[in-house]
Amino acid sequence: PADPSSGSQQRAGLVAPAERHLSAERMERVGFRGVVVALLVAAAAAECPNACSGHGNCGDYDMCTCFRNFAGGDCSERVCPFDRAFADNPKGDLDGNEDVSAPTNTMIVGSQVFPYGTTEEFPAMTDSKGNMLSNTAHEYAECSAKGLCDRKRGECHCFTGYEGSACQRTTCPNDCSGHGTCESIRELAAGDASQIYSIWDADRIYGCKCDPGYHGSACEDRSCPVGVDPLYTDSGDVSVHVTTVTFAIFDAFCQEHLEVEPYYLRRQLLSEDQDFIEESASDEAAFATAQRRRLLQTPTTVPIPAPTAVPTTVPT
């Protein structure tokens, strides 16, 4: 039979010992689950952004340490090639201490962009004699400061006029138009009387070395034949080798219709035993002028001689 007092005990808020034991186990289960959830939430909160994209290690303060050639908060960006900048600027106060350190003070060592560090001022550089230079530029820069980096592919998109994996050299105009070779300024100087060009841009500035018969910045122009002016005279008081250049017109047709007489036009030069005669040069110039005027005034139509009849044989 049921205990008449059990109902009154339950109504009074009392719990039997067996039921108290079950309630304690239930509370332990709920508490254990809460601890597990809390741990999972804590672990999730400690995860680095995007798990460092698989290109780095997650470290203290939930920060990624990216592998080589990767950058960004989650190491998802590629680093493009570096080379000497054609032009750059001092970086200024990088550490935020309201002071710009000396050019010999290197900072941010070990970063992906500056693995060997950088300076707040222009880097310290020296000339060929070892003298320290001030306000120098051309520090290593991504894409040589002459292009934009494609962070997805890690490739430089160079500005117009520059090329190379790091945009580290200039282009030759129109690829020298197919009439020359694209060479560095160092090579061009060596080919010009063996000169030496060895400053910072010796292998960065390129130009065209044109093939024979072509000239221009892009070797786009043809070169005309070059010779000595037939009317050239040397009026200097210098002894030179005697050279005589002779021109004549012997065409009988021209002589008959253009009234041009054969004439020997001689160039008079200085010699060791004969002085220059200015009157002779004046006479030759006057003759040449008269001949040009006569040719220009000559009618363009020239009479064509009538054909000569050819005798035919009559059969008998």
Q: What pLDDT does 265 receive? A: 40
Integer angstrom CA distances of residue 83 from 109, 139, 258, 303: 18, 8, 72, 76
Q: What pLDDT does 151 receive? A: 93
Tens digit of each residue's pLDDT (9 = 90 or more) over 204-245: 999 999 999 999 999 999 999 888 887 777 666 555 555 565
Cβ neighbors of 228 (< 8 A, separation 6 or more) are: 245
Tens digit of each residue's pLDDT (9 = 90 or more) over 16-37: 555 555 455 565 655 555 554 4
Flag the least confident range among 56-60, 89-93, 216-220, 241-245.
Answer: 241-245
Q: What pLDDT does 100 receive? A: 87
**Residue 155 half-sphere exposure, CB side, CA atoms within 13 Å?**
4
Domain range summary for the chain, segments of one domain joined by +: 44-78, 82-163, 172-222, 246-296
For 14-26, letters b (16+ CB in 10 Å) and e give eeeeeeeeeeeee
